[in-house]
Amino acid sequence: MLRLGFSEFYLQGGDWGSLITTALSQMKPQSVKGLHLNMVPMRMGGLKTLLCVLLGRHLPWLVGFTREDVRRFFPYLEKWVYTVIRETGFLHIQATKPDTIGSALNDSPAGLAAYILEKFSTCTDPDFIQLEDGGLQRKFSMDDLLTNVMIYWVTGSSTSSARFYKENFTREFQTSPTARTPVYVPTGIAAFPYELTHTPRVLAKDIYKNIVTYTYMPRGGHFAAFEEPELLARDVQKFVLKLEKNKQ
C-alpha cells in the first residue's frame, strides 16, 4: 500500500485474513485508519474466559454477555469437542503433512473439488451436513463454486496453500507477539451466526481495545464475503462512515 502511494488505509479480513490484518494493525497502526473483521479468533484459557464460560449462561449481565451472545455462544461451546473432532481433519493434515495432501489434490480435479466444496457446505451452515447435496446451491451457484476450485487447479497451488497451515500453526501460535499484542486502531466486527466461533464483544476486547462497531449479522456463515457480500459490504460502509464522521 505504501508503494502504491497510500499512507493510510482501511483493512478488512475474515479467516486467515483476520489474522493477517490484525498483524498489520499491530505492526503499522499509524497507517491503519480502521480494521474490520468478520471473524475474531477467541482466546481459550485465562481467568476472564473461564468466568464467562461458568457464569455467562445464567448471569450474562455479570460478565458482559448479551442475550444474543448467550444464544450463539453456549450451543457452540457444548458441541465444541465433537465439532473439532468431526470438522478439523483438514486442519490437522495441512498443519502436519501439507505436501502429502497437496500432491494428491494437485493430481486429481475430482478430489480437489470434493476437498474444497465440502467446506463450502459445513462452514456455510452446519446443518447442511444432513442434506443429500450438502446444500451447496442454497447459497452459491455451481459456476461460482467451480471457479473457486479452478483457481487452485490451474495454478497448482494446493500444496502451497496447505503449507500455510504448517508454517503458522507452530508451538508458539498462542504465545507469539501477534497473539499477545493488543490492537488499538478503531475496530469493527461483524458477527455472523454460522461463523466457526462466536466471540462476544467482551472477549474480543482482550485483543481489540477500541471496538467502534459490533454487529450481530442476521444470517451468514464463515465465507461471508462470498455468501452474503451485500450484508458484509453494508457493515463495512457503516463502520467507515462512523469513523469518517467522527473526524469531521
Please say if 133 is a catalytic residue.
no
Options 194, 198, 222, 235, the catalytic residue: 222
Q: Say if residues 41 and 21 touch (Cβ distance below 8 Å).
A: no
Q: Report residue 229: phi and psi, to 5°.
A: -60, -40
Strand partners, 216: 191
Q: Which of 76, 165, 206, 216 is catalytic?
A: 165
Q: What is the separation of C-alpha 64 from the centre of its chain, rounded to a whole number of angstroms?
A: 22
Cα-based distances in Å from 91 to 79, 94, 97, 106, 220: 18, 5, 10, 18, 22
In angstroms, the Cα distances linking 178 to 15, 22, 44, 152 are 15, 8, 15, 29
Closest by Cα among 43, 5, 2, 7 to 22: 43
- Which candidate, 46, 31, 77, 29, places its Cα nearest to that of 198? 77
On the CB side of 82, CA atoms within 13 Å amount to 6
Q: Give catalytic status of residue 222 as yes or no.
A: yes
Contact in structure between 80 and 197 (CB atoms under 8 Å): no
Q: Does the annotation mark 165 as catalytic?
A: yes
- Return the CA Rg of the chain: 19
Q: Which of 15, 76, 206, 216 is catalytic?
A: 15
Point out which residues pair with 194 in neighbouring strands.
221
Residue numbers annotated as active site? 15, 165, 222
